[in-house]
Amino acid sequence: MTQQRADSLEFLHALGLLYCRAGHLERGLVFLLLAARMAPENVSILHSLADAFVETDAGTRAIASIDRIGEISKETDPDLARLRSRAHWLRGQEDQARDAFKAYLQARAAK
């Protein structure tokens, strides 16, 4: 990846995060989706994207992003279980949401 491409990727990611934090979730999603398109293997961008999907009530898309992170990353991140729990809850899958939240609490306690 060239330096210019890396800078563009970092800019899109940062801009997406800023828009999401400022409450402009749709705009933030656009920038995060562009960043994810440029670097589909970037765990940080996918994590931000999953978080934005949860905030916009797009549980199915959030779970897809979380699953992608699981395929790519070798490390286990307790925060992904929390996001998965919220995404399942949005989809109306309360039992799976509770199971994911229990996994989050156990992983956090172990850390």
DSSP string computed for the chain: --HHHHHHHHHHHHHHHHHHHTT-HHHHHHHHHHHHHH-TT-HHHHHHHHHHHHHTT-HHHHHHHHHHHHHH-SS--HHHHHHHHHHHHHTT-HHHHHHHHHHHHHHHHH-
Q: By residue range, what is the domain housing residue 88?
A: 3-110
The number of angstroms, rounded, from the C-alpha of 78 to the middle of its chain's C-alpha atoms is 13
Tell me how far CA of residue 60 lies from CA of 21, 56, 91, in angstroms. Answer: 21, 11, 7
CATH number at residue 22: 1.25.40.10
Domain count along the chain: 1
Q: Which two tokens stand for residue 93?
A: 């899958």
* pTM for this predicted structure: 0.90
- State the Cα–Cα distance between residues 65 and 89, nearest whole angstrom: 16
Place of tokens 């992170």: 69
Q: Which two tokens stand for residue 27?
A: 């705009």
Q: Which pLDDT tens digit goes with each residue over 8-62?
A: 999 999 999 999 999 999 999 999 999 999 999 999 999 999 999 999 999 999 9
Residue 92 has φ and ψ, to the nearest 5°, of 85, 15
Q: Which pLDDT tens digit goes with each residue over 66-79?
A: 999 999 988 888 89
